[in-house]
Structure 1
Amino acid sequence: MTQNVAILGASGYTGAELVRLIATHPSMRIVALSGDRKAGMRMGEVFPHLRHLDLPVLQKIEDIDFSAVDLAFCALPHGTSQPVIRDLPSDLKIVDLSADFRLRDPAEYEKWYGKPHVALELQKQAVYGLTEFYRDEIRSARLCAGTGCNAATGQYALRPLIEAGVIDLDDIIIDVKAGVSGAGRSLKENLLHAELSGGTMPYSAGGKHRHLGEFDQEFSKLAGRDVRVMFTPHLMPFNRGILATVYVKGDAAAVHEALAARYADEVFLEVLPFGQVASTRSIAGSNYVHVGVVADRIAGRATVTVALDNLCKGSSGQAMQNANLMLGLEETAGLMLAPVFP
């Protein structure tokens, strides 16, 4: 049975990535696309790499007829999804790719995003979208809140270790290298080629990055106590990908064993042989995640590396994986594309 889907915010990177993935999905059909500033244009004009597809013309959200839509992907900027989703039909399934419903505590949302939450009833319904850990809740959800791409990467490294009790919860450092597409498609001076190419720099250092709200929420819930990690992301001069290098205190062999055991049955999670490290080159354009563990020269210390594609598994691929569950489809449908190399 074909499921009709709409993509709100289709003129951004995550919207375009959704279109690319759904183009090969056996059971999904795109029946509506929105792009406020691009309304009236065809996707092939906005994204020439999608020119070969027969797609609806971009339109404003208020002009979309949702009566024949089974699920809507909301790929709008942070802070704009809440009022839009609040006004959508109450029986419409929604996967939100923004940060607007990730944090369960409205006070935490206001702390990290600088504005009060305006859809508190919907927030109570939202299910956190880290698929491998919330699969059962996502299946029955009406609203699924996609994770932050950095937050997903760090959690893939650490959740199994917290669950297994093999690391010191008070000694965790997450260092992330993130591709520039994670900053979105809006024009920004620091993202100009001359400003970014040939160098790198940390940003939101000193515990200021918004994805710390997700780390605090999820790790503390999992551990049953407050867990606060050190986290610094770095902006890298490549288009796609995130590499997390996570430093933990614990036996490296036990760390590797815990990760391998937890992800043994997960299609998209690949734990590398002990001593190997993950690379963004090996997962580009795919929904796969590579996880590696290396023992440090200091006894009782380990380094965990995790690589994923921020636009796919970190955002749009994750969204489609969750939509498959919500629609009763095969979870992996449309997502088995091999990574692009070189």
Structure 2
Amino acid sequence: MKEVAIIGGTGYGAIELIRLLQAHEYMHLKKIISHSQHGQQITSSYPHLHGVIVEPMEKLDIESLIDEVDIVFLATPAGVAKEIVPLLQETSLQCIDLSGDLRLNNRKEYETWYGKEAAPQKTIDAAVYGLSEIYKEEVQQAKIITNPGCFPTSALLGLIPAVKHRIISLDSIVIDGKTGVSGAGGKASAMTHFSETNENVKPYKIGKHQHIPEIEQYLSEIANESITTTFTTHLIPMTRGLICTIYGKLTKPMSTKEIIDLYQSYYEGHPFIRIREEGIFPTTKEVAGSNYCDIGICVDERTNQLIIASAIDNLVKGASGQAIQNANLMNGWEEGHGLGFVPVYP
């Protein structure tokens, strides 16, 4: 049994980690650490955890982490993990960072897109990108994981087979992303106010979203050449769920069935990727509460476009579920252990 700490214990990512860890036989949640609410019961913010979590949240103490736990999940805002992970880097602890602090290889890129000083290069270099289906072997050997963002998880899983096999023009990629309000976190803002989001669809961070360089970095790595994309996000009036509709020009004539077969072959043996049959496309509700990524594919022969729809639960496969999937791989456990939830439907 591995002892676990969650740092940043009051955000939605942490709350989802708590839910998922309750079903895990090999990890025990020992500490919930909160900078703003240490000493308080988590039930003061989340009454649904009454009877589930009884110990108060704690203040961050690096020495007690080193002495008392084996795995640390950092569910912190951007700019926090980059200060903590370097302090744990030379210890035996496994660190899984759910923020964006270690995802970008280039420190200047991080500082440009996030507006904060980057982590030490030594820490960035030690972190493995935890897109489990693509970097499984690297994750298995890692001690520090940088968990992918929610939009990059959906977009990359939808795109990588097509990019790897060069069936689309690499300069033609357009990603249209839509996410529920929980993707913005629990902090109140005018953007996520009920009267702003209800019966409304709002494009945001056009050309400036911090997930743009992450998507481009890992697509470029797969292609072994520089790739830029057009990526636009939208906030839609639902609590959880995320879907990317992706477009790319075909490089050669291919049928929908041929590409579906290619995707099924590429993701064979990966239990959380579900490729839909021809003519059937995923919806966010069909993956809610689960660690699945559902992918639908269509070739539009009239426009010579490949169209890919990739749906995930932004809090599970897009955050906490993928973090646990990575922890499973790091420790030699079955990849899907503790994650076998059927989607919540309707």
Q: Does 2:193 align with 1:192?
A: yes
Matched position secondary structure for 1:133: coil
Matched-pair contact (CA < 8 Å) for 1:74–1:94: yes
Residue 81 of structure 1 corresponds to: 81
What's the secondary structure of 1:132's corresponding residue?
coil
Question: Unaligned regions of 5+ residues in structure 2, if any?
Answer: none
Once the 2 structures are TM-superposed, how far is the Cα of residue 133 of structure 1 from its aligned partner? 0.6
Name 2:294's counterpart in structure 1: 290
Higher mean C-alpha displacement, 11-20 vs 248-257: 248-257
Instruction: Compute the TM-score of the two structures, normalised by the length of structure 2.
Output: 0.95
Distance 1:97 1:181, change over 3 A: same
Q: Alpha carbons of 1:327 and 1:56: their partners in 2 closer, same or farther (altered >3 Å)?
A: farther
Q: SS state of the match for residue 131, structure 1? A: coil
Once the two structures are TM-superposed, the CA of residue 300 in structure 1 deviates from its matched residue by 2.3
**Which residue in 2 is equivalent to 1:327?**
331
- Alignment-derived partner of residue 202 in structure 2: 201
Alpha-carbon distance, 1:263 to partner: 1.4
Secondary structure at the counterpart of residue 179 of structure 2: strand
Which whole-Å CA distance do the structure 1 matches of 2:238 and 2:11 have between them? 18
Within a 5 Å distance, the mapping from 1:142-153 to structure 2 comes to 142-153=143-154
Whole-Å Cα distance in 1 between the matches of residues 343 and 244 of structure 2? 18
* Counterparts of 2:62 and 2:294, CA distance in 1: 41
Residue equivalent to 1:95 = 96
- Contact 1:216–1:227 (Cα < 8 Å) also in 2: yes
User: Which deviates more from structure 2 when the two are superposed, residues 283-292 or residues 300-309?
Assistant: 300-309
CA distance in 2 between partners of 1:159 and 1:63 (Å) = 38
Q: Secondary structure at the match of 1:87?
A: helix
Give the whole-Å Cα distance in 2 for the aligned partners of 1:215 and 1:118. 19
Letter in 1 for 2:203: P
2:312 is matched with: 308
Query: 1:152-167 counterparts in 2 under 5 A?
Result: 152-167=153-168
Q: Secondary structure at the match of 1:141?
A: coil
Residue of structure 2 in register with 1:68 after alignment: 68
The residue number in structure 2 matching 1:243 is: 243
Q: Return closer, same or farther for 1:220/1:69 CA change in 2, 3 Å cut-off.
A: same
Aligned to 2:118: 117
Give 1:46's aligned residue.
Answer: 45
Tell me if the contact between 2:151 and 2:318 (Cα under 8 Å) persists in the aligned partners.
Answer: yes
Matched residue SS, 2:308: strand
Identity across matched positions, percent:
35
Which residue does 1:22 correspond to in 2? Answer: 21
Give the distance between the partners of 1:92 and 1:119, measured in 2 at CA.
18
Correspondences of 1:131-280 after superposition (within 5 Å): 131-205=132-206, 207-250=207-250, 251-253=254-256, 254-280=258-284
| CA positional deviation for 1:8 | 0.5
| Partner AA of 2:34 in structure 1 | G
Q: Distance in 1 between matches of 2:63 and 2:334?
A: 28
Taking structure 1 as reference, are residues 225 and 236 closer, same or farther at Cα in structure 2, changes over 3 Å only?
same
Residues of 1 paired with 2:62 and 2:196: CA distance? 39
1:169-195 Cα deviation digits (max 9, x unpaired): 111110011111111111211111011
Whole-Å separation in 2 of the counterparts to 1:80 and 1:54: 24
Kindly state the Cα deviation for residue 153 of structure 1 after the two structures are TM-superposed: 0.6
Code of the residue aligned with 2:18 in structure 1: it is V
Cα distance per residue 1:18-40 (max 9 Å; x no partner): 00000010111001101121211
Aligned to 2:4: 5
What is the CA distance between 1:123 and its match in structure 2? 0.9
Amino acid at match of 2:56: V
Counterpart residue type for residue 326 of structure 2 = N
Deviation at 1:52, TM superposition (A): 3.0
Residues 337 and 222 (structure 1), Cα distance of their counterparts in 2 relative to 1, 3 Å cut: same
How far is the alpha carbon of 1:119 from its aligned partner?
2.3
Shift of residue 259 of structure 1?
A: 1.4
Q: Secondary structure, in 3 states, of the residue corresponding to 1:65?
A: helix
Alpha-carbon shift at residue 55 of structure 1 (Å): 4.3
Conservation of the 8 A alpha-carbon contact between 2:102 and 2:119: no
Cα distance change, pair 97–252 in 1 and its aligned pair in 2 (3 A): farther
Tell me which stretches of 4 or more aligned residues in structure 1 moved more than 3 Å.
none
CA distance in 1, matches of 2:110, 2:55: 34
Q: Is the 8 A contact 1:45 1:51 kept in 2?
A: no
Q: Return the offset for 1:143.
A: 0.5
C-alpha distance in structure 2 between counterparts of 1:64 and 1:56, whole Å: 19
User: What's the offset of the Cα at 1:328?
Assistant: 2.1
User: Do 2:154 and 2:312's aligned partners in 1 also have CA atoms closer than 8 Å?
Assistant: yes
SS of the aligned residue for 2:191 comes to: helix
2:14 aligned counterpart, secondary structure = helix
Offset, 1:338:
0.7
Return 86-95 or 105-114, whichever deviates more.
Answer: 86-95
Q: Secondary structure at the residue paired with 2:134?
A: helix
State the shift of 1:120 in Å: 2.1
Cα shift readout 1:148-207 (whole Å, capped 9, x = no counterpart) = 1001110011001111121111111100111111111112111110111110111111x2
| Structure 1 residue identity aligned to 2:332 | G
CA root-mean-square deviation: 1.4
